[in-house]
Chains A and B, each alone.
Chain A
Amino acid sequence: MLAALIIVFREVFEAGLVVGIVMAATRTVPGRGWWVGGGVLGGTLGAGIVAMFAGALSAIFDGIGQELFNAAILAVAVVMLSWHNIWMARHGREIAAEMREAGEAVVAGSMTLMSLAIVVGVAVLREGVEVVLFLYGVATSQGGSGLGILAGGAIGLILGASVCLLTYFGLVIIPSRHLFAVTSLMLAFLAAGMAAQATKFLEQANVVTSLGTIVWDTSWVLSDRSLVGRALHTLIGYSDQPTAMQLAVYLATLAVTFALMRLFAAARPARVVIRENLAARTSTRPR
């Protein structure tokens, strides 16, 4: 029972961190509960479907189907996270300039919510597949002791979900004018970590083979199998033995995300510039 509790807890806990951050990041966006809830539901259903076909998925592409699938959905999540951050870098500016029109705001809001709902879906799907396969195996292979294990799984689920709540309430303590900056930073690191993880899957599949040397080994200080290691793995992409390629992809994702955020934040709508130019021209005050 304890083993089941631990296995279910650590999977749900990893997804819970992601859901908590997304909930905090979208705190001011109306209707986010439906989108995040939809992401969780979609991820759960997806996990069931993927678990059902896990054997077949493993067998395709000459045995590397599972790795390619994981890398692909992680890549989608990375793009969605970065896209969200870039959108928000721009709209944060527009809100400040009181430029945002109501219609535009709703469109932007639901677009960014959709991207984050997909991120939540991917996180829940990835961890959920393991939970479903594990519990299903237990339920079918064991009679009496199976009940205890399912109970352990249920407790693990509740504990894991409470990590999601703790993350959320821990973050929303932050005053709202800083909250956005904090959550976009966290989402950027989340994206970089996911990109590095996708790389690991491609390396495991032997699709990516260059830069395969291990850059450092900190498993003696903080193993990424420990609870703290796992939390940091999810939050900032910590790895105790990353390859040079993983590190390169990690840094590149961060650099590209931040560069695009700056670029989009700087590129203001043309009409603002025109209005400012007009104002400058009609101004009679000397500089």
Chain B
Amino acid sequence: MTITSNISKAAAAALVMMSLFGLATTGLGAQEAVSIQLSIKNKQFQPREITAPANRPIRFTIKNLDPAAAEFESVTLRVEKLIAAGSEGVVNLRPLSPGRYDFFDDFNPQNTGTLVVR
């Protein structure tokens, strides 16, 4: 008897935990995203600088053309994304204020690039 009540309590606990993640999950903005794209080739972002409009959601696609995996990372954009060799990664960015946002490949930190928002 105590065991079953334990289990149901534990299940309730699990539900509370899970619902924490579900809480405040809101719908996406209605605004259409701007698509931008760059590639990684020979361990370099191409282009190394890319421009996007301010205050609009951005759909940023990174194509990894190299035979080695990359980890697209940016502190200011708050992104960390593994991109396997020969595949592409999509990063959905919320509307940004004008500025320069640096990013880099965490597996090859010399490879850096900048997103210019204006």
Contact = CB atoms under 8 A, between A and B. Distances in A.
Nearest to A209: B26
A92 to B, nearest CB: 15
Given A83-B10, A209-B94, A264-B9, A129 B82 contact: yes
A58 B20 contact: no
Question: Mostly helix, strand, loop or mixed at chain A's interface?
Answer: helix
Given A55-B84, A260-B13, A141 B67 contact: yes
A170 B107 CA distance: 31
A137 B24 contact: no
A17 B25 CA distance: 31
Contacts of A225: 75
Interface string A102-139: 00000000000000000000000000011001101110
A interface residue count range (under 10 / 10 to 19 / 20 to 34 / 35 or more): 35 or more
B90 A83 contact: no
A133 B82 contact: yes
A136 B13 contact: no
B17 A206 contact: no
Interface residues of B, number: 45
Contact of B24 (A59, A86, A245): A245
Contacts of B78: 200, 203-204, 241
A208 B94 CA distance: 11
Contacts of B75: 219, 225, 241
A79 B28 contact: no
B10 A86 contact: yes
A58 B69 contact: no
Nearest to A207: B25
B34 interface: no
B25 A54 contact: no
Contacts of A63: 59, 61, 89-92
B17 A82 contact: yes
Contact of B28 (A71, A209, A263): A209
B26 A210 contact: yes
B87 interface: yes
Interface in B19-71: 20-21, 24-26, 28-29, 59, 61, 66-69, 71
B107 A206 contact: no
Interface string A243-267: 0010001001100100010011000
Nearest to B89: A58
A55 B87 contact: yes
Nearest to A212: B94
Given A54-B84, A83-B10, A219-B75, A133 B17 contact: no
Q: Which of B14, B28, B86 has most A Cβ within 10 Å?
A: B14
B50 to A, nearest CB: 18
Which 10 A-B pairs have CB atoms at the shortest separation, nearest pair first?
A63-B90, A137-B68, A55-B87, A133-B69, A54-B84, A141-B67, A137-B69, A55-B84, A141-B68, A206-B92
